[in-house]
Structure 1
Amino acid sequence: MKKFEAKTLEEVYELASNEFNCSIIDLEIEIIQQPSKGFLGFGKKGAIVTAQLKRRPKKEFKKNYKDTKYKKSNINIQDVSEKIANTTKEIKKEKVQNHTKVPHVEGKEQIFNNFYTENNQKDEIAKIVIKKDKEEIISEVKKDVNLLFQNTCYEIDEIEVDFYDEETLYIEFNGKDSALLIGKEGYRYKALSYILFNWINEKYGLMLRLEVAEFLKNQEEAIYNYLIPVIETIKENGTYKTKPLDGILVHIALKRLREEFPNKYVAVKTNVKGDKYVLVNEYRSN
């Protein structure tokens, strides 16, 4: 067990990770002192933690999380995001060292454009051969994602992990405070999706479907109801442009309209104000 000190938790996590030359999720970390800015420079404190390498069990992880509640602490969601971001950096380094080929991940907008399915062209992600079996992946992701959130300020149940389909991993957050992870207009949901997607896509070559307190289910129901008259109009006129849709709604609409009109051109467009909408037109015409 080694002790590390720095101005912020992010810096102290990085120190520990560099010292042991491993990913942050491979360490057992105990926070001794939270950083504090003090008042007018008085009482300023840095972050202090102790860390050591985890002991790797020979058998598959079988810890029972049933009826587990994660208690509140002084750590906030920003700290968790920083831990996951650092983990992503370490995974990228390991991929380079092992000469493992990983598909190029575009910017945030491109990632969200790929969340809710794609055209008929084969995606690079689909070409990846996943060497681990499904049960091993589920067990590993479930263990790590629960570990990352066990010391947050939110009371959440055990985080569920399963396969949604052959190329998509399903992660579900529930519990007393889980709805707080959504944020106003879903901004926290989108940030959490982006962080978890980067980690899972880099390490396992999988897509992600994230559910938080039935947020995704409710959004899908709302957009499906909106699209009922839209679909009828498209059948009559052959073309349509939806109203501006925010965040995840545009991707749900894109998936639904592509399913309904496989022989038409269905794509996300952006107007001069930066608003996104879905355009349905004759195939391959603008």
Structure 2
Amino acid sequence: MKDQIKIEASTLEEAFQQASAKLQCSINDLDIKILQQPSKGLLGIGKKNAIILVRCKSEEEKQPETQLPEIPVEKEEKEIFDTFYQESKDLHAIAKEVETDINDLFRGMCFKLEPVKVEPYDDGTLLIEFNGEDAALLIGKEGYRYKALSYMLFNWINPKYGLQIRLEIANFLNSQEEMIANYLKPLIEKIQIEGKGQTRVLDGVLVQIALKQLRQAFPDKYVAIREKDGGKYVIVNEFKKN
């Protein structure tokens, strides 16, 4: 048996090509053992390269119609998200399907997570909960990774089912909402007296939470996000009169 070599590459196709070049052997004449399937991970985390153990077949082993090992088509997040049935389902059935597929997505990744829970939050919203030892890694600095994951999940669930999502990771959203609510209390009192006001510059997901809470507090006023010198804040004012 000829010597085997180990090849690591981003995809199986690249690994096969590298092996063919190094062994100076046609891909059809390679004896390939796949040690690790490639994975893109999620948001750049948990990415895995393809790893193969390969050798050139001897003359006796070569067959006129050698078949390459089947290369599984890697399921990207969007492809996984598109596997749901098209027919209408009740909210609890949708929640169960979403829960199953999110858990399938994270099962092969290097996170220590409890099973993800998905349940109806209200008639138009799904509550998605991540907990576990590594859950905080999904939040990221200033909540940027949280925001990216929330965006990805929303762009899967909303077009499919017309539902909103509430993403809770290790109680992050709840604690941020409580913090902003405490910060906004004196500001809301000031706006009730003066008719207008604005928040300080807020980071990451905080500006979206403040926007939501101020719109709930002042449904008849103009509430919007403004940006200055790279920072974002929320303003509250009267609607302009024609």
TM-score (norm 1): 0.58
Relative contact order: is structure 1 or structure 2 higher (C-alpha 8 Å, sep ≥ 6)? 1
Correspondences of 1:127-206 after superposition (within 5 Å): 131-206=88-163
Q: CA deviation at 1:264?
A: 1.1
Return the alpha-carbon distance in structure 1 between the equivalents of residues 70 and 134 of structure 2: 28
Give the aligned partner of residue 76 of structure 2. Answer: 83
Structure 1 254/163 Cα, relative in aligned 2: closer, same or farther at 3 Å? same
Task: Point out 4+ residue stretches in structure 1 off by more than 2 angstroms.
Answer: 5-12, 45-53, 85-88
Aligned-pair identity in percent equals 51
Structure 1 180/199 Cα, relative in aligned 2: closer, same or farther at 3 Å? same
Q: CA deviation at 1:83?
A: 2.5
Give the aligned partner of residue 218 of structure 1. Answer: 175
Conserved? CA contact 2:103–2:116, under 8 Å:
yes
Conserved? CA contact 1:170–1:210, under 8 Å:
yes
Among 207, 229, 234, which residue is 1:278 paired with?
234
Among 223, 229, 233, which residue is 1:266 paired with?
223
3-state SS of 1:164 partner: strand
Q: CA deviation at 1:250?
A: 1.1
Return the alpha-carbon distance in structure 2 between the equivalents of residues 196 and 218 of structure 1: 21
Larger Rg: 2
What are the ranges of 5 or more consecutive residues in structure 1 without an aligned counterpart? 13-30, 36-44, 54-78, 99-129
Return the alpha-carbon distance in structure 2 between the equivalents of residues 83 and 9 of structure 1: 13
3-state SS of 1:280 partner: strand
Conserved? CA contact 1:238–1:281, under 8 Å:
yes
Give the aligned partner of residue 10 of structure 2. Answer: 8
Structure 1 197/223 Cα, relative in aligned 2: closer, same or farther at 3 Å? same
3-state SS of 1:142 partner: helix
Give the aligned partner of residue 252 of structure 1. Answer: 209
TM-score (norm 2): 0.68
Structure 1 182/255 Cα, relative in aligned 2: closer, same or farther at 3 Å? same
Give the number of aligned pairs.
190
Return the alpha-carbon distance in structure 2 between the equivalents of residues 165 and 284 of structure 1: 34
RMSD: 3.3
